[in-house]
Amino acid sequence: MSVSSARNDLRPVADILDAQRVLFIHAHPDDETIATGGTIALLVARGANVTVLTSNRGEGGEVVAGNLSSLEGTEELGPYRAGEVLNAMAALGVTDQRFLGSAEARASGKSPREYRDSGMQWGSDGFAIADPNSPADAFCKVPFEEVLDDARLVARETYPDAIVSYDERGGYGHPDHIRCHRIAAVLASELDVPFYMVIPATSSERVDYEVDVEPVFEQKVAALRAHQTQLTVEGDSLVHSGGQRQVIDRVERFRQH
């Protein structure tokens, strides 16, 4: 069922921060804060209704070395990371975060389910590629129409006047990111609303909007710290579980689809 008939009587959105109801579609826990945490916090501060839809719980990922490293590869990791998302949302001021397939984000008439992290490998070009050993219920292997129908339910309930997700390559190529892009593109087309794609700071792609998140930078850092199995904050940088160091963006960049 298309959401094209959903009534959207909000004023036109000319800039990402002009939106009043925004649906962020992200792949895994911590993606929402790393890529768009400042923009989320600014929108909430301006009174916008923000919904963060997360495709899966990132249970296939690595865990930062330390007290929680024993969670890696276990069935406890997914629920733990779900809790980390809630803590990050509290730091950003978001009260509506949903996992795709859950009761709050599942197509009508279907029993709730979980989609699993599809995993990835690094390709020779420096971009991620699909993991050939990903589980059968991995997010990127489930029929596209099923996950799209789940996301449509969220769109029907929230009536976003803007949608935010990744670019066509999913930022760095992760198959779950690419699938989130596809979902966002379809929903934005059906709703006839702007689709803002995250452009990494290291990318040479065109940038249409730059959001200065300095006023909410400490909120973004607090939300990053909530993802303690995923990353470590060191000064103005974050260190991923794999050891990659990344400067925390004080400007978040977007291109309109």
Go through the domains of the chain in sequence order and give each one's CATH number.
16-256 (3.40.50.10320)
Distance between CA atoms of residues 189 and 4, nearest Å: 8
What strands lie across the sheet with 245-247, from one edge to the other? Answer: 231-234, 237-240, 245-247
Torsion of CA 130, 206, 164, 146, to 10 degrees: -40
Indicate if the pLDDT at residue 192 is higher than 50. yes
Mean of the pLDDT values across residues 59-73?
95
Q: Give percent of the chain with pLDDT exceeding 70.
A: 95
CA 109 to chain centre: 26
Q: How much is the pLDDT for 5?
A: 45
The residue assigned the tokens 């959207």 is 8
CA distances from 174 to 100, 140, 171, 181 (A): 17, 10, 8, 11
Distance between CA atoms of residues 21 and 38, nearest Å: 16
Indicate if the pLDDT at residue 7 is higher than 80. no
195-198 vs 251-256, strand pairing mode? antiparallel
Indicate if the pLDDT at residue 130 is higher than 90. no
Q: If you average pLDDT over every residue of the chain, what do you get?
A: 92
Distance between CA atoms of residues 93 and 1, nearest Å: 32
Q: How much is the pLDDT for 8?
A: 47
Mean of the pLDDT values across residues 25-42?
98
Indicate if the pLDDT at residue 212 is higher than 80. yes
Mean of the pLDDT values across residues 9-29?
85
Where does the pLDDT of residue 120 fall: very low under 50, low under 70, confident under 90, or very high at 90 and above? Answer: confident
**What's the per-residue H, E or C state across the chain?**
CCCCCCCCCCCCCCCHHHCCEEEEEECCCCHHHHHHHHHHHHHHHCCCEEEEEECCCCCCCCCCCCCCHHHCCCCCHHHHHHHHHHHHHHHHCCCEEEECCCHHHCCCCCCCCCCECCCCEECCCCCEECCCCCCCCECCCCCHHHHHHHHHHHHHHHCCCEEEEECCCHHHHCHHHHHHHHHHHHHHHHHCCCEEEECCCCCCCCCCEEEECHHHHHHHHHHHHHCCCCEEEECCEEEECCCCEEECCCEEEEEEC
- CA-nearest of 94, 9, 96 to 43 is 94
Indicate if the pLDDT at residue 247 is higher than 50. yes
Mean of the pLDDT values across residues 162-188?
93
User: Which of 96-105, 167-176, 228-237 shows the lowest mean pLDDT across its residues?
Assistant: 167-176
Indicate if the pLDDT at residue 1 is higher than 60. no
pTM, full prediction: 0.94
Mean of the pLDDT values across residues 26-49?
98
The residue assigned the tokens 């990402």 is 16
Q: How much is the pLDDT for 132?
A: 82
